[in-house]
Chains A and B, each alone.
Chain A
């Protein structure tokens, strides 16, 4: 499991944002990001952020997910972003 203090770094090559959503280019792969994923990625782009800081930021913007743990939901989003080459997670 990704620890709370793992550091998340934005690794995309280019990103365009419109109406809260974003499109990220990593290598030759293009990923269409949800509003939640966009907010997470933009937060990391301001400077490396820990998983817990990202979770707090997203909870502030979108509220806590109903019937689910915020931290677990954020880890799932970050894992998907990592698999698409949009962010890297260390620690």
Chain B
């Protein structure tokens, strides 16, 4: 198993005294993770205070709020934050921006992994990230540096103390519920033990994601609707007669009790098909990435192929234009992927023609559209090989004619590294990246405003290192 068994994703929630926000956050996040069927050995949540006295109980008012919101406040004791706690944490969540800043001043290694809860909730809303959760702190930090999201919740003034307490706990409950739902589709695979005599359901279909066969089992009262919509959206990835390397069960049902039961068995469970399809995309991507850790270089990039199998990779963080670019250029060039570009050491590209997440112009709801529904060009009848890597830099006030700027070798690799999954597990690590970048003739930055203007550049880009 690529994911190191026993290596939990460790969340440390920090505030000043560890009797209020951080204590409430710890207990409510644990509750929502449990409701999503995520065991504590997969995501471990603890809390501590910057100025806490060790061993005190949770504030009485905070404990009452935890109980009101369905959590368990029993057995809580405060802890003062330490360097060892910070070092061990994968992600640090703070109550307010000044607590985050104080934490980073005292423990500089926290920087890049520390966020306020409000920031995390907003960043996930903007990002639509599809990556293993261990990559999330880096991806969220990268996004935080280039966007303005509220660092705290919108709360009543301190003079309205009681209302403020209720409001902050409601906000923590809502944010932790949302975060737990997102993490549920992207945590390392954690199969639940089957009850005696229980037989595994027959998979509804098997999907190919850059060579990884992922078996999908649909369940719930809406399983047929999910199956039909899923096969339509994932049409180009459906494969027959392949032994699955990974699997997942996804349940759609209006009954919350059915969903709760399904989550406890390790299934993803949602009330409607659209939400299920949205999370299915992340889940399949993460399962496939887990299966190829250490074997492939997997980057957050779109890929488009020319007639001879040459592939241009367009590297960019989630939410910065890869899907729009794939849709526009994919009308003319073979659609490889819009999210995760998987490349073997010999530069062979493994396609992942997943659905594209498109925002409906009228309803503003994100929908999953299959490559065939969007009439994207099929892959050429030739082996796919990476010939060019470009880092996207889309700007509202960007140039009307796209500008291609060659990046320095190390500078380019530093930018590319931010968009890789499991960089530390790639054999050769930075040396492997350096060889890849050299093999495709270096990295370039593509600055543009309107993706339509990129289309005329494609012949130049596809010529790649052959030029």
> Of all chain A residues, which has the CB nearest B110?
A83
Give the contacting residue for B410; candidates A14, A23, A27; CB below 8 A: A23
Neighbouring B residues of A85 by C-beta, 8 Å:
109
Neighbouring B residues of A16 by C-beta, 8 Å:
410, 413, 430-431, 434
| A83:B109 contact, CB within 8 angstroms | yes
> Of all chain A residues, which has the CB nearest B422?
A28
Give the contacting residue for A13; candidates B410, B417, B418, B424; CB below 8 A: B424
C-alpha spacing A23/B429, complex, angstroms: 11
| B424:A28 contact, CB within 8 angstroms | yes
- Is the CB of A6 closer than 8 A to any CB of chain B? no
| A23:B112 contact, CB within 8 angstroms | no
Neighbouring A residues of B108 by C-beta, 8 Å:
83
Task: Report the minimal beta-carbon distance from B409 to chain A, rounded to whole angstroms.
Answer: 5
- Is the CB of B190 closer than 8 A to any CB of chain A? no
- Is the CB of B414 closer than 8 A to any CB of chain A? yes
> Of all chain B residues, which has the CB nearest A26?
B424
**With contact pairs A13-B429, A14-B429, A16-B430 given, residues A29 and B410 touching in the complex (Cβ less than 8 Å):** no
- Is the CB of B111 closer than 8 A to any CB of chain A? yes
**With contact pairs A23-B413, A30-B423 given, residues A14 and B431 touching in the complex (Cβ less than 8 Å):** yes
Interface of A is mostly: strand
Size of interface on B: residues with Cβ below 8 Å to A:
21
C-alpha spacing A83/B87, complex, angstroms: 11
Neighbouring A residues of B430 by C-beta, 8 Å:
14-16, 23, 25, 30
**With contact pairs A14-B431, A15-B430, A30-B417 given, residues A25 and B411 touching in the complex (Cβ less than 8 Å):** no
- Is the CB of A22 closer than 8 A to any CB of chain B? yes
- Is the CB of B138 closer than 8 A to any CB of chain A? yes
| B434:A30 contact, CB within 8 angstroms | no
C-alpha spacing A29/B414, complex, angstroms: 10
Task: Report the minimal beta-carbon distance from B299 to chain A, rounded to whole angstroms.
Answer: 13
**With contact pairs A13-B429, A16-B434, A25-B430 given, residues A30 and B112 touching in the complex (Cβ less than 8 Å):** no
**With contact pairs A25-B429, A30-B423 given, residues A83 and B410 touching in the complex (Cβ less than 8 Å):** no
Neighbouring A residues of B434 by C-beta, 8 Å:
16
C-alpha spacing A54/B137, complex, angstroms: 33
| A32:B414 contact, CB within 8 angstroms | yes
Neighbouring A residues of B417 by C-beta, 8 Å:
23, 25, 30
Task: Report the minimal beta-carbon distance from B144 to chain A, rounded to whole angstroms.
Answer: 16
**With contact pairs A16-B431, A25-B429 given, residues A32 and B112 touching in the complex (Cβ less than 8 Å):** no
| B411:A28 contact, CB within 8 angstroms | no
Neighbouring B residues of A22 by C-beta, 8 Å:
410
Give the contacting residue for B138; candidates A19, A25, A28, A32; CB below 8 A: A28
| A21:B424 contact, CB within 8 angstroms | no
Task: Report the minimal beta-carbon distance from A16 to chain B, rounded to whole angstroms.
Answer: 5
Give the contacting residue for A30; candidates B109, B409, B414; CB below 8 A: B414
C-alpha spacing A85/B110, complex, angstroms: 11
C-alpha spacing A23/B417, complex, angstroms: 10
Give the contacting residue for A25; candidates B112, B135, B424; CB below 8 A: B424
> Of all chain B residues, which has the CB nearest A83?
B108
Q: Give the residues from 125 to 184 in chain B that come closer than 8 angstroms, CB to CB, to chain A.
A: 134-135, 138
Neighbouring A residues of B431 by C-beta, 8 Å:
14, 16
> Of all chain A residues, which has the CB nearest B112?
A29
Neighbouring A residues of B410 by C-beta, 8 Å:
16, 18, 21-23, 32
Neighbouring B residues of A83 by C-beta, 8 Å:
108-109, 111
Task: Report the minimal beta-carbon distance from A56 to chain B, rounded to whole angstroms.
Answer: 26
A-B contact pairs, 24 of them (CB 8 A): A13-B424, A13-B429, A14-B429, A16-B410, A16-B431, A18-B409, A19-B409, A21-B410, A23-B410, A25-B417, A25-B423, A25-B429, A28-B134, A28-B422, A28-B424, A29-B138, A30-B413, A30-B417, A30-B430, A32-B410, A32-B414, A83-B108, A83-B109, A83-B111
Nearest first, the 8 closest Cβ-Cβ pairs linking A and B are A83-B108, A14-B429, A30-B417, A14-B430, A32-B414, A23-B410, A16-B430, A25-B430
Chain B interface residues (CB < 8 Å from chain A): 108-109, 111-112, 134-135, 138, 409-411, 413-414, 417-418, 422-424, 429-431, 434
Chain A interface residues (CB < 8 Å from chain B): 13-16, 18-19, 21-23, 25, 27-30, 32, 83, 85
Given A23-B430, A30-B413, A32-B414: 20 more A-B contacts, CB < 8 Å: A13-B424, A15-B430, A16-B430, A16-B431, A18-B410, A21-B410, A22-B410, A23-B413, A23-B414, A25-B429, A25-B430, A28-B422, A28-B423, A29-B138, A30-B414, A30-B417, A30-B418, A83-B109, A83-B111, A85-B109
